[in-house]
Amino acid sequence: MPFEPGDLVVLIDRRGGRHLLRLTEGKERIGKVGVVDTGSLIGQEDGTVIHIGSASLTALSPTVLDKVAAIHRKAQIILPRDAALIALHADVKAGDHVVEGGAGSGALSIVLLHLLRPGGRLVTYEVRADHAQVAQSNVERAGLCDNHEIHIGNIASDIAETDVDSTILDVPEPWEAVPACHEALAPGGRFVSYSPTIGQVEKTHEALKGYEMADIRTFEVLERELVVGKRGTRPSFEMLGHTGYITAARKLA
C-alpha cells in the first residue's frame, strides 16, 4: 500500500541510522543528512529509495524495532529483545492495562504500546521530569501516544490504578514498589522487574515472597549474532556481556 498523508515513515540511512517522520506537505530536517520534503513521499511504495543531496535513504513503514532504534536517547535504553521478553512474561496483549515504573528514554514503553494496542492502556510513573519528557517525546514520535499517559511520580507511592493486568518496573529500588504493585494488580496479574545488579534481584525476591506472589523467577538473556560472510561463518566477536536480569511473578487471589 503506497504511503498516505499522515503516515509515519522511517528513513534508513546507509549506516543503518533510523529517522522517523510524519508525512505532511511540509519539509523536515533529518539529523545531519539534510532536509526532506515529506510530501514527496506520499504515493511512494514501502521500501522506496529516496535521495537527499548525495545521501540515499530507504523509506519504510516503521516496525517496532525501527521505532526503538530511532529514539533520542537519554542514558542506556532497555534493548528490544529484553523488552519483548519482559512483555512475554507480563503477558502483554491487545487491550491490556499496564502500569510501568521508570520511563527511561521510552524504549520499553514503545514495545509495550506496540503490543497492547488497540484498546489497551499504558500508564508510566517517572520521578525525573527530564526523563519523562524525553520518553514522552519519543513515544509521540513513534506514533503511539494515544494509548499512553505519563506521570511525574514514584510508582512505589503514587500509583493510582487498580485491577491492572501487569506492572513492569525499571527502577533502582524495585523492592520498594512491590507492595504498591501487589495492591494495584488484579488477581492473576503479572509483575515484572528489570534490574542490572544481583543485589536488586535478591531484595526483590524477598519482597515478592513477603506478598506470597507465585511463580517467582529470574533470568538473563544473552544474544549473539552469527556472522555469515565471505570468510566463513562464525559468531560475532562483539557481544553485550550483560544488560539486566528479568524477574517475573504473579499475584494469586
Nearest Cα to 187, choosing from 96, 249, 253, 92?
A: 253
Region from 27-35, 83-91, 121-129, 174-182 binding a second copy, contact rule CB under 8 A: 83-91
Residue number with CB closer to a second copy (103 or 201): 201
* Contact between 186 and a second copy per CB under 8 A: yes
Taking the mean position of all CA atoms in its chain, how far away is CA 245?
A: 16
* Binders in 120-179 for a second copy, by CB under 8 A: none
Instruction: Check: CB of residue 86 under 8 Å from CB of residue 79.
Output: no
Q: Which of 25, 140, 146, 220: binder of a second copy (CB under 8 A)?
A: 220
- What is the nearest approach in angstroms of a second copy to the Cβ of residue 135? 20
Count Cα neighbours of 10 within 13 Å in the Cβ-side half-sphere: 20
* Contact between 223 and a second copy per CB under 8 A: yes
Give me the residues paired with residue 52 across strands.
55
C-alpha cell at 240: 553485550
Angstrom distance (rounded) from CA 77 to CA 139? 13
- DSSP state, residue 241: S
* Contact between 11 and a second copy per CB under 8 A: no
* Contact between 56 and a second copy per CB under 8 A: no
Residue number with CB closer to a second copy (31 or 47): 47
* Contact between 22 and a second copy per CB under 8 A: no
Q: To which H or E segment does residue 96 belong?
A: none
Region from 126-134, 145-153, 176-184, 220-228 binding a second copy, contact rule CB under 8 A: 220-228
Radius of gyration (C-alpha) of the chain in whole angstroms: 20
- What is the nearest approach in angstroms of a second copy to the Cβ of residue 151? 25
* Contact between 250 and a second copy per CB under 8 A: yes
Q: Which of 19, 89, 121, 148: binder of a second copy (CB under 8 A)?
A: 89
Q: To which H or E segment does residue 44 belong?
A: none
